Structure 1
Amino acid sequence: MRAMELRSLRTVSRSLVLPPSLPRRHKSIVKCSSGGSSGNHLSDARIIYSAAPALGHNKESHPESNLRVPSIITALDKMELTPKYRGLEIIELTHIKPASVDDIVRVHTKSYVTGLEKAMTKASQDGLIFIEGSGPTYATQTTFQESLLAAGAGISLVDAVVAASKSSSSPPIGFALVRPPGHHAVPEGPMGFCVFGNIAVAARHAQQVHGLQRVLIIDFDVHHGNGTSDAFYDDPDVLFISTHQDGSYPGTGKIDQIGKGSGEGTTVNLPLPGGSGDYIMRSAFDEIIAPSAQRFKPDIILVSAGYDAHVLDPLASLQFTTSTFYTLGSRIKELANELCAGRCVFFLEGGYNLQSLSYSVADTFRAFLGEPSLAAQLDDPAALYEEPLSRAALAIKKAKHLHSLF
């Protein structure tokens, strides 16, 4: 993210308040190690998640801070959406194995990976360095190893979901609660708070290790996932669909950027006008995302789940709500069940208001479970304003026309 885009943060460290009337559940705690991803409990689970909070990768007052994942875990626990309360229904994958350099260089250049590893010496001496020219992406002495762990968590979840799909017609959906995020990291280096392309690395792993050749990546972060797009721009076996705020960082993701060579038609960009909210996103899903996925017929769905399109987020100006993210979680799960035997893994990307981020992820979990949304207790309608329906309709119409040609 460019510095000029960093508006002053709203109060993001306010305490998370437990919504009323939650059911009380107390079950035995179930956790699995990453080495046991084909174990006995996975086929019984509804959700399997991993947490890689990168506590050492932190810069004071930076929006992409080490408070993000712990805030989500706190909300999940308060809303009784953890193994402590759900037993076999929700499993935490623990003891994650970091990704190997070989895993990372399926997406990134070897020179970038080795260069970042060497930069850890300077980070250790200086305490913190900037690893992107314009300065928003930083590194500490732990960044290299913690970035490997974030990518490894995604790989482990893909392994777990694929293993469960072999013994169950309804495998658990995965969620990698990881940072640093990944979708801006280009093959040659870091960008926009992102170090390694976690979802791109997992996509190549799914293809090369599990033989899941056709991968659908849905990116609903408020910013275009340019790094993911670059990695697969000429690849006919990866369908990349991105909704993002038109004109926002990093300025890519134009509607007529559709892929090249044999990958022409397998990049779908839908830039939404500022102010777009729940209605426009639902329309985009119904008219563009779902039909494109159904035509593509993926073997697995991976999701760049950015929560910075929330109306309370400080870094952009879309107006999604907790309800919007609940709907996305529910609809994407339906697509996975319809198209690829339920194989689906979400990857945390953006989201910088700790409360809206945490509540929205928790409501996404409720969507995975098929339980009612708590959005009515969490969202403030007074924060919303009229959506630019006519401009959004033109964007959706143009996208439909472009991709009807392929």
Structure 2
Amino acid sequence: MRPCSNKEEISSTAKLIYSVTLCKEEHPECRVSAIVSALEKAHLTPKFRGSDITQLQNCKTATFEDVGDGHFISPPKKAKYSVSEEGVDGSGDTHTTDTTFKESLVSTGAEISLVDYVVASAKITKNPPIGFALICPHAVPDGPLGFCSGGNVAIAARHAQRVHGLQRVFIIDISAHPGKGTNDMFYDDPDVFFLSIHQDGILPGAGKIDHIGRGKGAGATLNVPLPQFSGDFSMQTVLCQVIVPCTQRFKPDIILVSAGYDAHVQDPQSKLQFLTRTYYLLASCIKKLAEDLCGGRCVFFLEGGDNLESLSNSVADSFRALMGEPSNSAEFDSRYFVIMEPYLGARQAVQKIKQIHSL
């Protein structure tokens, strides 16, 4: 176990524990600052909640052993990309510099410390806190992609297996973009179930409905590509008819969530129409699944989200869901932005998935 400096403060009363990692290069990490400000404004921090909410402090930096399996950007001296102050040649929209690797190790240390805390708490209480890592998102196994420099949720999954002996890991990716890196990492692995909900065709060639795993891992990957303009109704359909039965059938030892907020109707990165309340319902349901199936062991990892207002409000409402408190989404959600959902397209996608996976 790689503990934080406050390991002795594991509490049997905490409902939520979170970590914050701010990078020097604030693209797109300015969103972490915006989220922290929103949490303060919403009184969703230890300052206002006492022991109910804990922020993990002074976490140890991850080691090469922690980020094994090659699912991380290589150090600059070993990178396949040309590293300079201008970024990494070939990394597309991912801005990285010669400090990116070190900062990524700091983020990874925070995330695996959250896993350690949640697992340790589950040993002393039936209601351990849910973890939420406000850090940098994932990438593909051999390099950076899509504003992402490291495979955080994949590293956390392997850490849970290797260090804590939690064999069966269920990963839910709710970003608007397919979780290509995580998908590829576990495509042959029957012990890691990867479920991705995303916009159909937003990343060509990735996240197709018939991408279901390979070899021993066949059936342990499930992609839910939703048509453009799918929103709250479509997500609730997927939640009830896909996420819940898949998780119940897999019987995980821990649930990890790639918590992307770029499917929000106000976000410029997609043409989906999720609302703040959509994320509240998702977090509430996932929390209940963790309580019912794996002793409450569950950790969320921040992913996409480029509209700082909708991102911050949605993360704050996710915190309320994980705390078991009422949603505040009515204050933020406006139907002004929403057009008619493609109900038929969403239903057809769900029906095809149910046939493929015998749900």
Aligned-partner SS, 2:12:
helix
1:296 aligned partner, one-letter code: F
Which of 346, 355, 358 matches 1:401? Answer: 355
Using the size of structure 2 for normalisation, the TM-score is: 0.96
CA contact 2:70–2:142 (8 Å) conserved in 1: no
Which stretch shifts more, 245-254 or 215-224? 245-254
Unaligned runs of 5+ residues in structure 1 are 1-32, 59-63
Note the 1:269-348 alignment, pairs <5 A: 269-348=223-302
CA contact 1:53–1:68 (8 Å) conserved in 2: no
1:35 aligned partner, one-letter code: S
Distance 1:117 1:298, change over 3 A: farther
Matched residue, 1:44: 13
1:158 aligned onto 2:115: yes
Note the 1:1-400 alignment, pairs <5 A: 34-37=4-7, 39-54=8-23, 56-58=24-26, 64-108=27-71, 113-114=74-75, 116=76, 126-133=84-91, 135-179=92-136, 181-182=137-138, 185-400=139-354
CA contact 1:246–1:273 (8 Å) conserved in 2: yes
How big is the shift at 1:36? 3.0
Which deviations, in whole Å up to 9, do the C-alpha atoms of 1:68-120 show, x marking residues without a partner? Answer: 100000000000000000000000001021211121123427xx524x3556x
Distance 1:86 1:95 in 2: 20
CA contact 2:6–2:57 (8 Å) conserved in 1: no
CA contact 2:10–2:117 (8 Å) conserved in 1: no
Unaligned runs of 5+ residues in structure 2 are none
Aligned-partner SS, 2:256:
strand
Aligned-partner SS, 2:230:
coil
Distance 1:281 1:118 in 2: 42
Backbone CA RMSD of aligned residues: 1.8
Using the size of structure 1 for normalisation, the TM-score is: 0.85
Aligned-partner SS, 2:56:
strand
Which stretch shifts more, 144-153 or 351-360? 144-153
Which deviations, in whole Å up to 9, do the C-alpha atoms of 1:308-351 show, x marking residues without a partner? Answer: 00000011100000000000110000000000000000000100
Matched residue, 1:13: none
What is the number of equivalent residue pairs in this alignment? 357
The 4+ residue runs of structure 1 with deviation greater than 4 A are: none
Distance 1:167 1:263 in 2: 33
CA contact 1:239–1:266 (8 Å) conserved in 2: yes
Distance 1:335 1:399 in 2: 20
Distance 1:132 1:224 in 2: 20
Distance 2:22 2:354 in 1: 38
